[in-house]
Amino acid sequence: MSRLSENLMAGEGREPASSPPEFSLDHRQTLLQIAHESILSAFADRALPTAPLFPCLLEPRGAFTTLYLHGRLRGCVGYAMPVVPLYLAVAETARAAAFEDSRFCPVTKQEAVELEISLSVLSRLITIRPDEVEVGRHGLVISFGSHRGLLLPQVPVECDWDRETFLEQTCRKAGLPSDAWQKGAALEAFTAEVFGGGKTDRQ
């Protein structure tokens, strides 16, 4: 999956960012089912799930899929940019989180039916000043030259970071000095709607 090689694995978390819900319960359940089906279908060598009926899920959006197994992180991969329709971004990143996250061995079929999935649907990136960053609301992308790092909005909340620490840690995620945000690195922000689901339905 060549697109995934150009995207980022980010910090993970379960707590939702503080922004008004954009997606209905039906939208959320559909996306979670797509994520589950995408992982399970890989074991049967089936294609990724087809497009759903909801128009909002056909719009290009950035998205991250985070997998947990018995409460422990099992994989996280995402698209920071809106490169494909949302339903496909979820399908592709779910499968990649299960089988292509280099930090973990590929998920086994036995593990797949026990996975819990958290989805983070990203807003579009906007340029932001450091003093405008709101912990708990904004996710960050910091870039300089070929270096680029991303942290989701829930990460600083879970880690109890203040704004400056959040900026420093995003720099480190990009492989940059922790003060790069003060020395010319580009800073962009986004919000994310985060929601999750329980174990995969056995098929």
Please report the pLDDT score of residue 74 as a whole number: 96
83 and 141 fall within a common domain: no
Sheet holding 72-79, edge to edge: 72-79, 62-69, 116-122, 192-197
Structural domain includes residue 100: yes
Same domain assignment for residues 134 and 113:
no
Per-residue pLDDT of the chain (203 residues; tens, 9 = 90+): 444 433 444 444 444 444 568 899 999 999 999 999 999 999 998 888 888 889 999 999 999 999 999 999 999 999 988 999 999 999 999 999 999 999 999 999 999 999 999 999 999 899 999 999 999 999 999 999 999 999 989 899 989 999 999 999 999 999 999 999 999 999 999 999 999 976 554 33
Are 131 and 151 contained in the same domain?
A: yes
Say if residues 173 and 11 touch (Cβ distance below 8 Å). Answer: yes
Same domain? 93 vs 147 = no
Which structural domain, as residue segments, surrounds residue 57? 2-123+193-197
Q: How far apart are CA 79 and CA 89, in angstroms?
A: 7
Report the domain count for the chain: 2
Asked whether the beta carbons of 123 and 31 are under 8 A apart, the reply is no
Q: How far apart are CA 173 and CA 84, in angstroms?
A: 24
